[in-house]
Amino acid sequence: MNYKDDCIFCKIAQGQIKSSIVYEDSEVLAFLDVNPVSNGHTLVITKEHFDNFLMVPKDLLDHVFNVAQKVAQAQTQQLGAIGINILTNVNEIAGQTVKHFHVHVIPRYEGGDGLTIDFEPLQIDKFNLPVLADTIKSGI
Ligand code: AMP
Ligand code: ZN
């Protein structure tokens, strides 16, 4: 398995740094975020080092998101979450601080928590959307 020496999540994956583990198998680890934005905020990582979401092989990515769903279901059943946010940041501009792929599974509760997601729509010409869709489509 490919690990990086200076990566904190590689160290967590190998058990060299302690974490509060929620789920583990040979490929994936889920553990509590040390600076949670809500009660039970969990990170799901691949044990192998990939810099971010864009780099992860498809089958492994499927597995990570299956685990993320199980974690979210458990947060709902066990902690009383009434909503969930699933988030993965790619690169600094998007807020990625740890450069080892991880998915945030963030339970949401009545009465608020530490997460605010504020979508501020751009003013765009909606006639351009089909052309933009075709541009993206051509890369898939
Ligand atoms: P991101 O900003 O998407 O890269 O998120 C990185 C997350 O990792 C942050 O929410 C941190 O609180 C969390 N984090 C950093 N170090 C640790 C650690 N040793 N154990 C658990 N969570 C950590
Ligand atoms: Zn790593």
State residue 24's pLDDT score: 98
pTM of the model: 0.96
State residue 125's pLDDT score: 87
Count of CB atoms situated within 10 Å of the CB of 80: 12
State residue 127's pLDDT score: 83
Any idea what DSSP says for residue 44?
E
* Atom 22 in ligand 1: residue holding the nearest Cα: 33
Say how far apart CA 23 and CA 43 lie, in whole Å. Answer: 10
Q: How far is the CA of 52 from the centre of ligand 2 (A)?
A: 10
User: Alpha carbon of 102 to those of 1, 44, 89, 140: distances in Å?
Assistant: 17, 5, 8, 23
State residue 100's pLDDT score: 98
CB 106 within 8 A of CB 41: yes
Say how far apart CA 109 and CA 96 lie, in whole Å. Answer: 24
Any idea what DSSP says for residue 57?
-
Active site residue 102: yes
Task: Spell out the residues 6+ positions from residue 41 whose beta carbon is closer than 8 angstroms to its own.
Answer: 32, 33, 104, 105, 106, 107
The number of helices, as runs of H, and strands, as runs of E, in the chain is 3, 5
Which residues neighbour ligand 2 (ion) by CB within 5 Å?
Answer: 4, 7, 9-10, 49, 100
State residue 32's pLDDT score: 98
Q: From first to last of its 140 residues, what are the pLDDT tens digits of the chain?
A: 899 999 999 999 999 999 999 999 999 999 999 999 999 999 999 999 999 999 999 999 999 999 999 999 999 999 999 999 999 999 999 999 999 999 999 999 998 889 998 999 999 888 899 999 999 999 99
CB 3 within 8 A of CB 95: no
The DSSP bridge partners found for residue 111 are none
